Amino acid sequence: MTEASIGTRVLEAQATQATLCVGIDPHAATLDSWGLPDDASGAESFGKALRDAVIAAGVSVVKPQVALFERMGLSGLRVLSQLMSELREAGIGVIADVKRGDIGSSLQGYADAWLRPGSDFEADAMTAVAYQGLGSLRPAFDLAAENGKTVFVLSATSNPEGADIQQATTDSGNTVAGEILTGAQALVGASPTSRGSVGVVIGATVNHTTWGIDAEAAPDIPILAPGFGHQGVSIEQAPRLFGTALGRVFVTASRSVAGDSLEGLDTRMTEHLKAVADATV
């Protein structure tokens, strides 16, 4: 029997608090501050330290930034594959932050790589881009629904370069960001068995009103919310940002957890968990 996806589990929990998602991002600057080499061996040591800390603290979801392993070539991808496997074996949900998007067989290839059971990079969820239209992601949505996975589609991102496009108004009167959110809800409404397999990404720094987003109006959509901590948004602000949708939110923090060294990592992890537990609606 296929296990419930991380998206389904967060929906069914009907919680009043968010879920902490710890980013695993081996930036060159982070590895340097940790005293690690900027190569696959450094990423491996960094990843293992984060792995041990999330397991010890009881964190249930992590999000490795694939690009930061991919930049190291085949050796970096091998480190990523092993890390993801070890985390999943320990019962930790893994969201592969790959931001893939295409059409037809190309999109199917991306879905097979990151969502198909038994693949080298099997994750519990992946991020995706719907620039070619939300329907172009159907192969990933279908594979996710069949195998207890989740696809988080970019709706509103916190980078300033995205504002013009994401706030642009479509023929329906929605912003592009809002169209992705309402479109995701419509997909699930038309196919209830896909509930939990389709989610969206909404950055913590985003002004929901300006972006035309109403998270509370999409009750069947789990939300991946990066940008807490290092980007200047505190976890304490999460209830104000997401309102009654908070229980469907994966509050993501990366560099604020990793810090500048291995020293104090367990403490930072515990502090982030406590902040999420305290931030309720």
Mean pLDDT of the region 4-22: 92
Q: What is the per-residue pLDDT across 31-78, written as a single tens digit (0 to 9) for each? A: 999 999 999 999 999 999 999 999 999 999 999 999 999 999 999 999
Please give the Cα distance from 82 to 236 (Å, whole number). 34
Structure token pair of residue 157: 């991102």
Residue 98 has pLDDT above 60, yes or no: yes
Catalytic residue among 48, 63, 99, 149: 99
Q: What is the pairing mode between strands 198-202 and 150-156?
A: parallel
- Which has the closest alpha carbon to 95: 219, 251, 272? 251
* Lowest mean per-residue pLDDT among 149-153, 232-236, 266-270: 232-236
Give 200's DSSP letter: E
Which SS3 state, helix, strand or coil, does residue 131 take?
coil
Q: Which of 6, 7, 23 is nearest to 254 (CA)?
A: 23
Q: Is the pLDDT of residue 1 over 80?
A: no
Give the model's pLDDT for residue 36.
Answer: 98
Pick the CATH number of 6-278 from 3.40.50.300, 1.10.10.10, 3.20.20.70, 3.40.50.11540: 3.20.20.70
Sorted by where each begins, the domain ranges of the chain are 6-278
Q: What is the pLDDT of residue 14?
A: 81
pLDDT at 167: 94
Q: Can you list the alpha helix ranges (DSSP code H) found in the chain?
A: 6-13, 28-33, 40-57, 66-70, 73-89, 104-115, 138-147, 163-166, 176-190, 208-211, 238-242, 255-258, 265-278
The pLDDT of 226-233, averaged and rounded, is 89
The predicted-structure confidence for 195-215, as pLDDT tens digits, reads as follows 999 999 999 999 999 999 999
Residue 89, number of CB atoms within 10 A of its CB: 8
Spell out the residues 6+ positions from residue 98 whose beta carbon is closer than 8 angstroms to its own: 66, 110, 114, 126, 127, 128
DSSP state of 66: H
Token readout for 172 is: 């329906």
Please say if 99 is a catalytic residue. yes
Please report which confidence band the pLDDT of residue 217 belongs to, taking 50, 70 and 90 as the band edges.
Answer: very high
Give pLDDT tens digits for 251-279: 999 999 999 999 999 999 999 999 999 99
Nearest CA-CA partner of 102 in 124, 143, 125, 131: 131
Mean pLDDT, to the nearest integer, of 68-91?
A: 98
- 170-204, pLDDT tens digit by residue? 998 999 999 999 999 999 999 999 999 999 999 99
Q: Is the pLDDT of residue 281 over 80?
A: no
